[in-house]
Amino acid sequence: MSVLGVGVVQFRPLLVLKHEIGNPQSRRDAPQSRSYSRRFHPPLASSASGAQYPAGELWDARIKQQRKRIAGIDQDELLDPTLLADPDSSFCEFQGVHIHHKLYDAQSQSKDYIPSQGLTLSHQTVKLNIPMILLHGFGASVFSWNRVMKPLAEITASKALAFDRPAFGLTSRVNILRHSSPGTDDKKPLNPYTMAFAVLATLYFIDFLAAEKAILVGHSAGALVAINSYFEAPERVAALILVAPAILAPGGVHKVVEGNHPERTDQIERGRPKSDNLLKSFLKLVEIISKFTQYIAGAVMQIAKGMADMLNSLYKKALSAILRSAVAVMLVRMIIDKFGIAAVKTAWYDSKQVTDHILQGYTKPLRAKGWDRALVEFTAAMLFDNKSSTKIALRERLHEISCPVLIVTGDSDRLVPSWNAERLSRAIPECCFEVIKNCGHLPHEEKAEEFLSVVDKFLKRAFGSSEDQSLPAIT
């Protein structure tokens, strides 16, 4: 009796609430007008659970309402990325992915060109005739380069091209389970969300520009793409410009660790007095036992490694399944909704400069079909890349970079601190390092004129101009 009493107390308010909302018959009789009501008064979901428990209808309605907008972008009518393109947008297909890019050719423009948005350059251009490829960071797109793309092309009297990596901007969102590349039916196609794909796409655009070499300009995570592209094909990279690079700097210089030195051992052996035959036989036996022990230990380690590889494979499969689940997609949507706009503002030193135009540029890709699933795939690929030794090997190879390198950072970068950028510059031979004052994580957006001036000086210094060469080299 007491249990039924509790049940009545619990459900009574819900019955009253259902009466206030109206029964299903009254909703069918009411005129329907989805054209305006869907934004503010979404229709309640009709499900089996909702019919049995009125609270279910209210819960479904709340979920639908939350799905309506992500970071202020309506999610009801997501579009094909090509329908969101700007007048100067272009698309090309690479390994089954339609890549969105923009290109500016200074050589085809008038000599009287004036940079957009009031940007001016006080220096004469360096006529390198070497194109630039601009690589955006995580969560950004071609839009990130809109203030400096044309001036950069003018600086080199060449071309500047920026493209959207898969999962970002207006590049097509690919379902990797159904993805296939032209001419690769006999093998598994490359995952478009991996670093390997980003590197190949970068090299593809160098060919696309009909150039032997290009200057790679990478911002944040795009700097990692730039450096990986260099190591993949150093002969195709004329220079590297790393803007607020999201690359963990080495902890310190390599030290020579003292170990076994053959020449020192020989000297010791020569200085040792001759032993009798018994001692020699004993030492020989110890050597044989030692080698046998090493052999057994090696066999055990191979077995253990095989088991570890098997467990690691099972772990990756389980993690992959979790990351590609509906729960992961929902989590990504929640994170973007709660922190997306805040992250853009945090990236600036002065958040008051973040206009509606800038926010619209960063949130526009949220109108593309499949943006959430693609971001999950990118995150999964990034995690698996980090599980490998690729990143460690990259840090250990920084001293091998021989092309001109410039690192630019803001003194108030809250995402990638400037001290890390300075340490990174010390790990790269003859690297130029510049800090822009009162600037956050986006020097090419927040301090565009200063950024262009720094790049201009670097190119003149790197390619032999007699102009001002005041950029410091970190040694």
Digit-coded pLDDT (tens) for 401-455? 999 999 999 999 999 999 999 999 999 999 999 999 999 999 999 999 999 999 9
Residue 326: pLDDT over 50: yes
Nearest to 353, CA basis, from 441, 419, 267 = 441
Q: Average of pLDDT values for 84-92?
A: 96
- Say yes or no to pLDDT of 380 above 60: yes
Q: How high is the pLDDT of residue 394?
A: 81
Percent above pLDDT 90 for the chain: 49
Most confident of 25-34, 93-102, 312-321: 93-102
CA distance 456 to 114: 16
Which range is least confidently modeled, 7-21, 159-173, 368-382? 7-21
Distance between CA atoms of residues 183 and 196, nearest Å: 18
Q: What is the mean pLDDT of residues 39-64?
A: 44
Separation CA 100–CA 80 (nearest Å): 12
Give the Å distances, CA to CA, from 467 to 146, 152, 279, 462, 464. Answer: 27, 18, 76, 11, 9
pLDDT of res. 454: 97
The answer to whether residues 226 and 205 touch, using CB atoms and an 8 Å cutoff, is no
Whole-number pLDDT of residue 134: 98
| pLDDT band, very low/low/confident/very high, at 358 (cuts 50, 70, 90) | very high
pLDDT of residue 475: 42
Distances in Å between the Cα of 58 and the Cα atoms of 36, 37, 346, 437 are: 20, 17, 36, 52
Q: Please give the pLDDT value at position 269.
A: 42
The structure tokens listed for 265 are 């051992």
Q: Residue 285: pLDDT band by 50, 70, 90 thresholds?
A: low
Contact criterion met (CB below 8 Å) for 452 and 121: yes
Q: Each residue of 293-319: pLDDT tens digit?
A: 555 556 555 655 555 555 555 545 555
Confidence class of residue 381 from pLDDT cuts 50, 70 and 90? Answer: confident
Q: Is 253 exposed, middle or buried (0-12, 13-18, 19+ CB in 10 A)?
A: exposed
Is pLDDT above 70 for 203?
yes
End-to-end CA separation in angstroms for the chain: 84
Task: Read off the pLDDT of residues 120-179 as tens digits, 9 standing for 90 and up.
Answer: 554 455 678 899 999 999 999 999 999 999 999 999 999 999 999 999 999 999 887 666
Global pTM reads 0.70
